[in-house]
Structure 1
Amino acid sequence: MADSLTSGSKIAQVPLGNDGPLVGVQGLGCMGMSEFYGDTDQAAARDTLEAALEAGVTLFDTADVYGRGANEEFLAPFFGAHRDEITLATKFAIERTDDPKYRGVRNDPAYIRQAVDASLKRLKTEVIDLYYMHRRDPAVPLAESVGAMAELVRQGKVKHLGLSEVTGPELREAHAVHPIAALQSEWSLFSRDVERSAVGAAAELGVALVPYSPLGRGFLTGAFADAGKELSSGDFRQSMPRFTGDNATSNAALLEPVRKIAEAHGATLGQVALAWVQQQAAVHSLAVIPIPGTRRTSRLRENVAAPGLTLTPDELALLEPIASEVSGDRYPDMSATSTAREQ
């Protein structure tokens, strides 16, 4: 199995929603290349982008909030050099100001029109392939927000629409206004809230599921026996409940079955965690395109090998209880997530 995981062949492709383009079965989350995980070696990050494309990764994910636009600007030269080879995804909705602690959510049409024009300018492109609403503001009617997004499609500024962290009923409501190509939500062995209603709705509607943080923000790689002591200054995981004190210690103990399976396959813990996410496509009958983030070429190559690992039914059963035993919420404030709006 170790040889097949490092063969160097390109990953397979799957459709992004009913009418979307074919994309690599694994994408790349680019957030950490500009913010949130400490200092970045920009040259190494650019090498990682090229290595991803070479491996068959074609869905590259960013957002206007990452680095307050800096991530889009960083990615623009890469996107420009390979525009016809990639599917470019970005997002709007999370508003930041000069106050580093402030995070607002805006879904009003005026803001959406302003946000898309700003992203197009930073990305130096005429059209965004996949445009997500990053978070839902329940104070704004969903039909109003999606209607404004649909207008961007009619104007030729956006090709396909996506939503992030919405419930199943919200996904159905949005899809009735305009077809939704992709739902991006957290999904991993540590986080399975999305299965409550959204996964079933996505399968029913033909919407692709794009799991973010499929490695539990790195926890599922086994890197943090005591995350509170391991993380550098500037790493936003210091504020994450699952990476704090006793939570981090108890969560690290949950990795034992992942480690056992990894050893049996000659794989890494991260590959097992990603393989579990990839295999949810067959379990739930929908396209699943996880977007693990990394700034390093070595980690990128490890991640893209994971679809070559097939877990047995017994191994899947061994991993099944993990999420129910995790200590701590996904975020210090869960109010903007789909979990807060589940009935």
Structure 2
Amino acid sequence: MTQTFPTVPRRSLGGLEVSALGLGCMGMSQMYGTADRGESIATVHRALDLGVTFLDTSDVYGAGHNEELVGEAIAGRRDEVQLATKFSLTHNDRGGMDIDGRPENVRARVEDSLRRLGVDVIDLYYQHRVDPRVPIEDTVGAMAELVEQGKVRYLGLSEASAESIRRAVSVHPIAALQSEWSLWTRDLETEVLAVAREHGIGIVPFSPLGRGFLTGAITSPDDFAEDDWRRTHPRFTGEAFTANLRLVEAVRAMAEEKGVTAGQLALAWVLAQGEDVVPIPGTKRRSYLEENVGAAGVQLTPEDLARLGEIAPPGVAEGGRYADAAYAYGNSPERG
């Protein structure tokens, strides 16, 4: 019997129309174990076939590999795609990341991204992390020049604080804010969400499935491949893993009652947070993509949302969002 999938609706991110569900492509190049290039490209093609047309990448994912892969995957189908990429992060030789928001870096990095992606224009261009050493007004000013030059259509910020958002929009409209948001990461709701909405900025939650944990597929730290970075993530180790597993079990029990998967229920919760919310669950396999698309057909009642709010109130998860807390918004001073 042929499987049917729900129609993926459309939503607006500050004026940019995208599919209500996006595809995070990072795992096709790094972080989550070895990826199969052929399956990754097939996953992108399947996404487009199912109406998931909002693709998310970055120049730092696989040190440029991910942009090249996405560019190869969308060749011949560019008109179907809303393409987002990012700049400002680079891997350093200390095992961490350097942030560079200087205007000259903005101009150089966009040219490299355009070349790797094989496109003339990027639909949504994010600053991946705010550089505390460079006034954000200077960075966004250089990004705005790219819009004037026709190299970029819309601007975005990733993991920016409320103050950074306010300063950025004084220079140029910001279409989207990308930040972690899910049943086990609700920090965004404290302050940043309201400020973004005040300025008409759409929200793009990454890791809406709790880095895969909320799918219920991970029951032991041994489920991770040797080269999977989650082996050292604060929420996936020691007592935190055990505590967080109880949250997942509660989500899975409710999902079974509704006849959906735990991942679909968790993703439906994010989708239900507003018409300006476009989650980008990442996957490198068609089977998981298809499961995620199924979330677009899950209807949650006010009672369902209230129950999920009781299961997963803000701050429910044990462990930090990153091993290095500086990668989360607001944790490094943003000087001007």
With the length of structure 1 as denominator, give the TM-score of the two structures: 0.92
Contact 1:225 1:249 in 2 (8 A): no
Q: Aligned equivalents of 2:180 and 2:32: distance in 1?
A: 18
Alignment deviations for residues 218-260 of structure 1 (CA, whole Å, 9 cap, x no partner):
0001122222x22111111112100112111110011233112
The aligned counterpart of 1:82 is 77
Report the AA paired with residue 105 of structure 1. I
Deviation at 1:138, TM superposition (A): 1.6
Q: Aligned equivalents of 2:43 and 2:295: distance in 1?
A: 17
Identity of aligned residues (%): 48
Q: Aligned equivalents of 2:333 and 2:273: distance in 1?
A: 21
The aligned counterpart of 1:70 is 65
The aligned counterpart of 1:180 is 174
Q: Flag structure 2 segments of 5+ consecutive residues without an equivalent.
A: none
The aligned counterpart of 2:23 is 28
Contact 2:6 2:297 in 1 (8 A): no
TM alignment of 1:186-335, pairs within 5 A: 186-227=180-221, 229-281=222-274, 286-321=275-310, 322=312, 323-335=314-326
Contact 1:167 1:342 in 2 (8 A): no
Q: Aligned equivalents of 1:316 and 1:100: distance in 2?
A: 43
Deviation at 1:79, TM superposition (A): 2.3
Q: How many residues align?
A: 330
Residue aligned with 2:211, SS: helix
Deviation at 1:341, TM superposition (A): 5.6
Q: Aligned equivalents of 1:182 and 1:102: distance in 2?
A: 26
Deviation at 1:85, TM superposition (A): 0.8
With the length of structure 2 as denominator, give the TM-score of the two structures: 0.94
1:96 to 88, 91, 98: 91
The aligned counterpart of 1:7 is 4
1:301–1:100 CA distance, 2 compared to 1 (3 A): farther
Contact 2:187 2:315 in 1 (8 A): no
Q: Aligned equivalents of 1:62 and 1:307: distance in 2?
A: 22
Alignment deviations for residues 192-237 of structure 1 (CA, whole Å, 9 cap, x no partner):
111122211222211110000000000001122222x221111111
Q: Aligned equivalents of 1:339 and 1:280: distance in 2?
A: 22
Residue aligned with 2:73, SS: helix
The alignment status of 1:45 with 2:40, answered yes or no, reads yes
Contact 2:6 2:293 in 1 (8 A): no
Contact 1:187 1:214 in 2 (8 A): yes
Contact 2:321 2:328 in 1 (8 A): no
Residue aligned with 1:320, SS: helix
Q: Aligned equivalents of 1:90 and 1:325: distance in 2?
A: 31
Q: Aligned equivalents of 1:336 and 1:298: distance in 2?
A: 30
Q: Aligned equivalents of 1:172 and 1:77: distance in 2?
A: 37
Contact 1:193 1:339 in 2 (8 A): no
List structure 1 runs of 4+ shifted beyond 4 angstroms.
none
1:114 to 90, 108, 117: 108
Contact 1:107 1:145 in 2 (8 A): yes
1:77–1:100 CA distance, 2 compared to 1 (3 A): farther
Alignment deviations for residues 271-306 of structure 1 (CA, whole Å, 9 cap, x no partner):
00000000011xxxx510000011111111110110
Q: Aligned equivalents of 1:51 and 1:303: distance in 2?
A: 12
Residue aligned with 1:324, SS: coil
* More deviation, 72-81/243-252: 72-81
The aligned counterpart of 1:147 is 141
Contact 1:257 1:318 in 2 (8 A): no
* More deviation, 211-220/46-55: 46-55
The aligned counterpart of 1:340 is 331
Residue aligned with 2:27, SS: helix
Q: Aligned equivalents of 2:193 and 2:296: distance in 1?
A: 20
Contact 2:121 2:151 in 1 (8 A): yes
Q: Flag structure 1 segments of 5+ consecutive residues without an equivalent.
A: 1-5
Contact 1:165 1:337 in 2 (8 A): yes
Residue aligned with 2:18, SS: strand
1:150–1:10 CA distance, 2 compared to 1 (3 A): same
